Amino acid sequence: MAQIKRLSQSLTTNTTVFSALAIFGIGAYCTRSYFLQSAHAESNECPVMFSGLGFTTLRVQSVKAVNHNTKRLVFEFPDQNARSGLSLTSALLTFSRPKGRWLPVIRPYTPISDLNHQGTLELMVKQYPNGKSSTHIHSLVPGDTLTFLTSLKGFSWKPNLHPQVYMIAGGAGITPIYQLIRGILDNPADKTKINLVFGVNTEQDLLLRDELEEYKKRFPGRFDYVYTVSRLEEEKGGLKKGYVTEELLKGVLNGEKDTKVFVCGPPAMEASLTGSKGILARLGYNKGQVYKF
């Protein structure tokens, strides 16, 4: 994600690059649209919305507030038989021009909906203070549109790649983690066991809590989680008080050799976990065992 941040900063300060990208994107969009329409007309396969670089504009179908700074937005595909075409752990690069800005803002967001679902796609977006893209997206209402530039592939997951995986999420970093969780558990051929550690500031920040708890009910022997809340008056109902610390992780991670640890959260949390002297290294996990979204 650091590379994406550098990309967006570069684009906002270099109009020449932006112009070239826009021209290329429009050309790619026209070419892609032509071939998609032709291919769909000649086969019975569902059309794919995101198959390469090119502007794709989708209409907002619904908006739901999750808490004081997070919303879930459902976008509808022009063809209700279409599917996203995204692979597991993929993100989408959004392209928007917030009010009062001449140059656009480009930011990645991870869908939380089933990537094979036909007709719609759902994003969950947290609004950050002075966040140009997130503030713009939070202003959208049903009927408005949002443009997507391209898809970004993440970790290449294959069913049963590891018998056990650990996932550590902080705040809105749950979105790529959740996409991988549902991709594994909704696949009957995948028997991977998952343990999640989810750290947030307040109980209201436990995004996708209902969905995670439903998965635990459906897969009691394969999926489990630990919630830790830093601003909690007292521990209750399975909620731990505090941060994602080395002591906490010692009670969850077992140090297996054939396993993978996925991490996504605020920069400070990721810095404390990853790296040659981070918590995961001290717990015995080598660089190849840790993947940071």
What pLDDT does 44 receive? 64
Binding-site residue ranges = 107-109, 126, 132, 134, 175
HSE of 277, CA atoms in CB hemisphere, 13 A: 0
pLDDT value at residue 45? 75
Q: Domain-by-domain residue ranges, the chain? A: 2-152, 164-292
Tens of pLDDT, residue by residue, the chain (293 residues): 444 444 444 444 433 334 344 434 444 443 344 344 444 444 567 899 998 778 999 999 999 999 999 999 999 999 999 999 999 999 999 999 887 778 899 999 999 999 999 999 999 999 999 899 999 999 999 999 999 999 999 999 999 999 999 999 999 999 999 999 999 999 999 999 999 999 999 999 999 999 999 999 999 999 999 999 999 988 887 899 999 999 999 999 987 788 999 999 999 999 999 988 999 999 999 999 999 99
Instruction: Show the tokens assigned to 287.
Output: 């660089």
Which of 184, 176, 30, 11 minimizes the C-alpha distance to 90? 176
pLDDT at 66: 97
Q: Which residues are annotated as a binding site for FAD?
A: 107-109, 126, 132, 134, 175
Output the DSSP codes for the chain.
-HHHHHHHHHHHH-HHHHHHHHHHHHHHHHHHHHHHHHHHHTSSSPPBS-SSSS-EEEEEEEEEE-SSSEEEEEEE-SSTT-B--PPTT-EEEEEE--TT-SS-EEEEE-B-S-TT-BSEEEEEEEPPTT-HHHHHHHT--TT-EEEEEEEE------TTSSSEEEEEEEGGGHHHHHHHHHHHHT-TT---EEEEEEEESSGGG-TTHHHHHHHHHH-TTTEEEEEEETT-SS-BTTEEES---HHHHHTT----SSEEEEEES-HHHHHHHSSTTSHHHHTT--GGGEEE-
At 172 the pLDDT is: 96
pTM (two decimals): 0.84
Q: Give the architecture-level CATH label for domain 2-152.
A: Beta Barrel (2.40)
pLDDT at 171: 96
Res 257: pLDDT: 83
**Contact partners, residue 262, CB within 8 Å, separation at least 6:** 155, 165, 166, 167, 168, 176, 177, 180, 291, 292, 293
CATH number of 164-292: 3.40.50.80
**Closest to 269 in 3D by CA, of 260, 279, 277:** 279
